[in-house]
Structure 1
Amino acid sequence: SGFSDALDWRPLLFQEAVIAQSACSLCGVVSRKAVKLSCAHAFCSDCHEDCVEQGSTCPLDRESFSEDDLIQLDVSDGYLGKRRVACWNVFSGCSFVGPVAGLLDHYKECKFHVVSCPRCSSSVLRSEIAGHCRNDCRVPPAKEAPTCSRALLDYDHIEKASDDLKQAMLKTSEDLMFLQTSLNQCCESVREGERRSTERLEAHSSALAEQIAGLAALCRTGFTEDRSVLDRVAVDIRNAMEAASVDSKLHFTQELCSQSERLVAITEQLFKSVRVCCGPEALHWYLEGWAGLKLRAFKSPQKAQSPPQYTSGYRVSQLIQLHKDGGRLRFGCFLEIHPGENDARLEWPFGKTFTLGILHPTDRRKVISCEEDASLSENKLPFQRPRDKHNRGYGNSFLTTADEIESGGFVRDDTLHLFLRLEP
């Protein structure tokens, strides 16, 4: 494409194998501008642009590439015009083989154009249609194929085509067997994933039930103790006031203030205990495919983003990043703010304290996390009200390393449990 209106997007029957080096390995188009990757595949400009948008990876062999690895393949009009091609009517008997520059002129004068008979609908050469109809649509005798021109009818080529067809059928059979094996593996993976999801759901349900029971017990115990202390203080004050003389009432008033301060302190302690147990609402994200993500990160930096969710009215998501630093992989965790339906009623810029981190799958006391106060950040851009898309992430670019995550037992069934919590 990109050469002329007459030839663009028309199939050409090239007779020279060298032209294949300039053809796109994906769409087969020979274009004016093309690039060749380090893996030896060539792409036209459109396919190359699409590959870059999909992560700079060759779709044929999954190898990554950079712009520095590309070799520019420029095809000029003169070069293309000299390449030898067969006529489009080669299957009708035309023996023309010549340069691309002369193909159109020949095609206009070619004697092997085929038309459909209006009476019997059979395909007949245009130059013979009149005689065909005069002879009551009897098929004329087959002409002897030229010995040098109509190579497609040559026995050797027919035999070669037959061998190629056999090889293609054999490869198709092998591909079908491979697809059947892949399908069986996929079904097994689905069943295994279902089993893991069921186990994880049961574990979380059990943990949630324990937390609810603990919260109820804590509330009952805390408020009972609080009420008991209040009753004792009230009885002591009433008895003391009844037995006291006028001169000693000042002393009892001071004692009352002391008891009141004690009661306030106990109530505040109870509130803190309930807050620690319940905590503000947390968003949970189960990142699957940890092993594959880590393997790709040794070649190029990798990112993963959770689905956006609402908390405290804000629509937010979590972003993690893995990139190589020497012989280790650095793990970063960030908060991203998305446009939401409540934005007009929320406070901007975002100024809450938030916590990002990783939860241990079995021991809830083991946590890798960081706390950030958005109101103290000098960089306010990530916390402005988002408009068309989510803001740039803000968090800790070096929360931990991949080795520390795995050695700490935070990976289970190739899954990482991450959380995000906003303080009220």
Structure 2
Amino acid sequence: MAGAEYTLTGFDDFLERRHIVFVEPLPNTRICGICGVVPSRSVLLPCGHVLCQLCKGQIGEENPTCPLDRMMFEEANVVSVTFRQSHLEQHRVFCVAGGRKCGFSGKLCDLKAHLVKCGGDEAKCTKCQRYVARSVAVEHYVRCSAQTSARQTVSPTVNARAVQMLGAMKKDLERVRAWTSLEKVDQDAVVSGANILVECVANLERSFILEEAGGSEFSSLLSAVEKTAATAGPFRAASKPGIFVTTCEFRDVYDGCTALDEDEQNHIISTDTYTLAGYTFKLVCMFQKQDGEVVVSFSLYLRDGAWDDHVEWPFAKKLTMIISHPRDESKDVRLPVTIVNPKVLKKPPPETWNWGTWTTKEKWQDLELKGFVHNTNLYVNVEFE
């Protein structure tokens, strides 16, 4: 295919920075002598050279000189030139998609309509992975003897998981949108909801990446990634779609342990007050002496809050507390809590704390030795499902 290729600029959106091969070369007066583009607006210098507006703007105002022949000129002698698109479109061009494999050779004004139906460009066969013209893609596929590439097929496992995740993401998005429409916005709830959506997207993307790595390896690779994924610091994303999570901090936890003596068999410390999914609460950690060892357990106490009229009562969410390792998420200790006492689940009266329900007990020495304490602080993540 003969012709002259130019880059157009300053015309309509379809042509902007489009590389077009013209059947006949354009006049030099239409082409920037420096960068070679064909602009809609240019300038003609007294020496006869043409520059686009961008290149002209790079010439200094003091003693302006043509960059091509170093001849000085005065601005008063510079002529502005306009190349109307209606004139440009009368020039004949070749197809920009099919190239030599497409027989189109017509006016530039007809190119856009041609591209809609052009079959001269190439597509990769999903069987043999070779490129063929789209105009014969169906015939080639029928005759192709190669096997369908496993990479082009998404397994039912991934499809089912994608549908499930997208459904959960839709519910979470609707929930976050409802919160933002309230007169007072619960920032913690919005952040938690956003974290859930980010986690869903990441998991969905990871599923397809693993599937692309090989269908037979999908399950094993997914398990490996989930096992090795670790988060630096105590902060955690939701463990699965539809879960709210926040990080609570117990400060100066060693004081709770050293407070135990012969007379005091248990000692309690608590966190600040937090809000999650519209519920207001605090966590309490109890240090106890048991069989010559110190053990700890945790409890969540609900109280009245600004969003009590917008959440469900009695409290019906599944509660899990997670003792979070500050450096290795795989060491986290999950403590599911079963709540049945109505005094724990009821809507709290004004200025009142509900009762709490304790988790199972963990040996304090084990938590210390495994590095759960960071700068005298212990971190516990709370999940509402």
> Is TM > 0.5 for Structure 1 vs Structure 2?
no
- Which has the larger helix fraction? 1
> Structure 2 length as normaliser, TM-score?
0.38
> Structure 1 length as normaliser, TM-score?
0.35
